[in-house]
Amino acid sequence: MKIVIMAAGSQGDVAPYTGMGVRLRDAGDEVALATHESCAPLVRECGLAFSRLPGDRYGAPSLSSSAAGAAGRSTEPTGRSLMGKAAAFIRELGQGIADAAGPGTDLLLLSVTTAPLGWQVAEAMGIPSVGVYLQPVAPTSQFPPAVGGVGSLGRWGNRAAGRLSVRVADRMYAVAVKQLRGRLGLPAASLAAVRRRQERAGWPVLHGFSPVLVPRPADWRPGLDIVGNWWPHHQAGYRLPGELEDFLASGPPPVFIGFGSMAGGDGDRLSEIAVQAVRQARVRGVLQRGRAGLAAADDDVITIGEVPHACLFPRMAAVVHHAGAGTTAAGLRAGIPAVPVPVTADQPFWARRTAGLGAATNPIRFKDLSASRLADAITTVLTDKTYRTQAEAAAARIATEDGAGKVTDTIRRIAG
């Protein structure tokens, strides 16, 4: 079977699909991962075929935060400006998404961002599609929209906010869907109408996160399943860089500090905060450059580039991060307690979820981050052993899950 996985956004939005793709390939499928050119090396290193989607992972706005902003729940500049940027990116994405599928494709696997466009392509090609989502987006009374940055609004409020979030997202895609359907020779139809048709048909969506963090809501329709994480692929036998290994061997386990693709242009401030916090907490630190460009020159701190979290986090005493879905999951998988510092989009949601498990401190809002606040949180998470106990308990449960295997099983059922 020829399968095309479509994923757009930052590296964190793309990397989990490499593990899924390798698993499908090893099961005998021909697999391509369609994403931005800047992610091509990530895809090709895994031995998967690369198919280009327009746009760039760092140029792409957070579509989810744009929807939240337009609904009046964002902490970012203005909902209108975010909506405009997101709609422009979506229109560009829509122009190339049909070409990314390619002839002979038997199945499309669609991320949250690509699904509204991928539905049109699947319809035109007469092939099935499956949602493979990294965030819960279906409305539910059990929690508010994952992208809203707010706590629970009560059962009625949560569901109402979820429906509003879906409507706002549909507005962002409206022009791109109209253009794409015209290009594909499909009859005119609004995205809302297409979405309703998908819902009535029970369109399957597999969610690639752990029920440890988000148990399946009881009011979700059949066909919406939570299957466990799809872990980013890394080569068997991978070894950490020699300089990093030497640093780890030279003292007690350090604290990881990184913000992934967040906080671009804020590197100097964050680097100073990180070094001062490490000193005040009297621990060692590993700073990951990320998009912010963290860097430090200190005997007890080392600066690193991209390394697999699966190989690094088990060597840490604790992790300080932006609470992206993938980084949050990697910390729990390693059984390491966390200090979450959410920046935007779905990050406050994952930060609250991890804290609710007792595996992380209460989140520190990014705008409130200071050396003293961070040092206090690091000290708390290291001295109160219940955080590690809860993280290790979550790790034991996550170890029993096989998210990529569930995807493979579902595809086999679809293929008959």
Q: What is the CATH number of the domain that holds 250?
A: 3.40.50.2000
Q: Which domain holds residue 292?
A: 242-398
Strand order in the sheet with 2-6: 49-53, 30-36, 2-6, 107-110, 129-133, 205-207, 224-226
Largest Cα–Cα separation, the chain: 66
pLDDT at 81: 56
Residues 56, 187: one domain? yes
**Per-chain mean pLDDT for the chain:** 90
Q: Is position 59 within any domain?
A: yes
Q: Is position 329 within any domain?
A: yes
Residues 61, 91: one domain? yes
Q: Is position 48 within any domain?
A: yes
Residues 253, 185: one domain? no
Residues 49, 66: one domain? yes
Give pLDDT tens digits for 89-143.
888 888 889 888 888 999 999 999 999 999 999 999 999 999 999 999 999 999 9
Listed in order, strand segments (DSSP E) in 81-137 are: 107-110, 129-133
pLDDT at 58 over 50: no
Distance from C-alpha of 382 to C-alpha of 360, rounded to nearest angstrom: 10
- Number of structural domains (the chain) is 2
Residues 123, 192: one domain? yes
Encode 102-112: b = buried (16+ Cβ within 10 Å), e = exposed: eeebbbbbbbb
Q: Is position 389 within any domain?
A: yes
Residues 126, 275: one domain? no
pLDDT at 264: 59
Q: Do residues 359 and 319 lie in contact, with contact meaning Cβ atoms separated by under 8 Å?
A: no
Q: Is position 236 within any domain?
A: no
Q: Is position 234 within any domain?
A: no
Q: Do residues 294 and 287 lie in contact, with contact meaning Cβ atoms separated by under 8 Å?
A: yes
Q: Is position 24 within any domain?
A: yes
Residues 81, 134: one domain? yes
Give pLDDT tens digits for 391-416.
999 999 999 999 999 999 998 887 76
Residues 318, 192: one domain? no
- DSSP 3-state of 114: coil
Q: Is position 41 within any domain?
A: yes
Residues 252, 277: one domain? yes
pLDDT tier for residue 75 given thresholds of 50, 70 and 90: very low
